Amino acid sequence: MAIEKIDVVIPAAGAGRRMGAAVPKQYLRIAGREILARTADIFLSLPFAGRIIIALSADDTLFDTLDTAANPRVVQVTGGRERSDSVLAGLRASQTEFTLVHDAARPMVRPADIERLVALALDDDGGILAFQSVRDTIKLADTVSDGTARSVRTEPRELLWHALTPQLFRTGLLIKALESASAKGLPVTDEASAMELAGYRPRLVSSDPGNIKITEPADLAVAEEFFRHHAP
């Protein structure tokens, strides 16, 4: 399926408290450049990416200090309390049939993986980047009356995938799925989970496992090493 442009939504309204830094983690620097700027750089370099819609906290004062803010393809919207609220705000500003949603703190996604996702997942069910690398035996647990966890069954490893971003869906369908989940009070951990609740089966597209989300201080060291070898 041929498509001209795909807008990108990057929810960046979170505080990243687990990092324990003085600023939200998306504004921490790796190899001399802010995480959020590095993430936006990836999509600005892709020929099929349209506008980069960044959902920010209402009290954000840092984004306008980035050179990213001056790019004419970058659009700012006000995000919400939950990640899904910020994604919805970005989706409502999207002007393209399909939209990519990507975590602000995943600056190491490979452009080739994004290109493969777009090539394989342009349909109603959409798709996500993910990787299949569960090596240990996985147990499904239940909690008994004394508070201890008890194994219920062993999950088949070959069916388990780590969900990553970006995730690609028809803009209108994803808006409806997120709104429906919110109205029903159903938990949504990523865009694919909202689509699953709406009855869709998103395609899993294999990603390089290095596409990690920077969450804790140890992740910064991994990112620093990565950009020492891959920075333009």
Query: Residue 16 — φ and ψ, nearest 5°?
Result: 60, 50
Give yes or no for residue 17 having a pLDDT over 80.
no
pLDDT digit string, tens, across residues 4-13: 899 999 999 9
Q: What is the pLDDT of the chain when averaged over all its residues? A: 92
Of 33-37, 149-153, 191-195, 200-204, the one with minimum mean pLDDT is 149-153
Give pLDDT, residue 176.
98
Three-state DSSP class for residue 59: coil
pTM: 0.92
CB half-sphere exposure, 204, CA atoms < 13 A: 13
Tokens of 108: 């190491």
Given a contact cutoff of 8 angstroms between Cβ atoms, the answer to whether 61 and 17 are in contact is no
Measured CA distances, 156 to 136, 153, 159, 161 (Å)? 10, 10, 6, 11
Report whether pLDDT(177) > 90. Answer: yes
DSSP secondary structure of 134-199: --S-EEEEEE-TTS-EEEEEEEPGGG--EEEEEEEEEHHHHHHHHHHHHHHT---SSHHHHHHHTT
pLDDT digits 0-9 by tens, 72-118 = 999 999 999 999 999 999 999 999 999 999 999 999 999 999 999 99
**pLDDT tens across 147-168, in order?**
788 899 998 888 889 999 999 9
What residues form DSSP beta bridges with 76?
A: 54
- Using the structure block, give the residue that is written with the tokens 């990416």: 49
Tokens read off for 188 = 């949504």
Q: Are 147 and 203 in contact (CB under 8 A)?
A: no
What does the alpha-carbon distance between residue 189 and residue 130 come to, in Å, rounded to a whole number?
Answer: 14
- Could you identify the residue written with the tokens 């041929």? 2
pLDDT digits (tens, 9 = 90+) for 110-132: 999 999 999 999 988 999 999 98
C-alpha 150/C-alpha 146 separation (Å) is 11
Alpha-carbon gap, residue 218 to 63, rounded angstroms: 24
State the residue for tokens 């600005």.
44
Domain range list for the chain: 6-230
* From 12-21, 23-32, 47-56, the region with the lowest mean pLDDT: 12-21
pLDDT at 148: 84
Under CATH, which number does the domain 6-230 receive? 3.90.550.10
> Are 184 and 108 spatial neighbours (Cβ–Cβ below 8 Å)?
no
**Sorting pLDDT into bands at 50, 70 and 90, what band is 232?**
low
